[in-house]
């Protein structure tokens, strides 16, 4: 059994636990901003094709031909054009929702994976929602950590596509926990999980 400074212990429903993964605000912010830019671009294109004169009401001469060709699309393809506009608008809305979710994660950052001798406690992003559980070890039938790597990458810390762990439980079925939003590679998280299972807060020394 390993004893750790109580300063690093966190309270949970399964007793004291220790952080084994660090949520990356930088990753969440980068994904949120990239998704926001893509959503704006796709949305602007969809809006332009839908009503070019609304987006550019007083188009310069060099752009007027583009407006006319866009308006002609509705006459030449009366079914395909609205379908494409609707599809692009849907994609823009999905990317906007995803980007706002990532930006919210970056601002709050209240996500973690923690382990102690009593069990595992995690709160992780899951699409547009959050997956949170406190599971004692006797509730867990199997825990498997997987690190995905690019072909030909030899180093454990290079070429990582992502990582995740799956938990097979007695009462909650199989839980899938994505680790892509955390800083550490999955192999390091796995090692920390094994170490934290044997870790407890150190008892304060008695004074005489």
- Tens of pLDDT, residue by residue over 41-58, are 998 888 888 877 666 666
Q: pTM, whole model, 2 decimals?
A: 0.76
pLDDT reported for residue 208: 46
CA distance 15 to 87: 49
Every domain of the chain with CATH number 2.30.29 lies at 2-23+111-201
**Overall fold of domain 2-23+111-201:** PH-domain like (2.30.29)
Tell me if 113 sits within 8 A of 21, measured CB to CB: yes
Answer yes or no: is pLDDT of 74 > 70: yes
Mean predicted confidence (pLDDT) in 182-206: 85
207 pLDDT tier (thresholds 50, 70, 90): very low
Mean predicted confidence (pLDDT) in 109-114: 91
Would you tell me the crossing angle of helices 61-76 and 25-50 to the nearest 10 degrees? Answer: 80
CA distance 22 to 111: 8
**Which of 191, 194, 195, 201 lies closest to 16 in space, CA to CA?**
201
């Amino acid at each position: 059994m390993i004893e750790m400074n109580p300063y690093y212990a966190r309270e949970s429903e399964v007793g004291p636990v220790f952080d084994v993964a660090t949520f990356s605000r930088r990753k969440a912010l980068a994904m949120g901003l990239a998704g926001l830019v893509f959503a704006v671009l796709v949305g602007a294109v969809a809006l332009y094709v839908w009503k070019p004169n609304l987006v550019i009401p007083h188009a310069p001469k060099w752009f007027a031909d583009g407006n006319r060709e866009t308006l002609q699309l509705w006459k030449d393809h009366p079914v395909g054009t609205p379908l494409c506009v609707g599809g692009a608008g849907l994609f823009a809305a999905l990317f906007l929702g995803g980007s706002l979710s990532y930006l919210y994660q970056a601002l709050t950052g209240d996500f973690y994976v923690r382990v102690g001798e009593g069990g595992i406690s995690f709160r992780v992003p899951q699409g547009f929602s959050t997956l949170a559980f406190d599971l004692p070890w006797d509730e867990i039938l199997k825990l498997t950590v997987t690190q995905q790597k690019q072909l030909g990458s030899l180093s454990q810390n290079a070429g990582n596509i992502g990582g995740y762990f799956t938990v097979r439980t007695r009462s909650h079925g199989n839980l899938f926990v994505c680790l892509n939003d955390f800083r550490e590679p999955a192999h390091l998280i796995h090692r920390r999980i094994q170490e934290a299972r044997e870790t407890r807060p150190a008892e304060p020394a008695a004074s005489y």
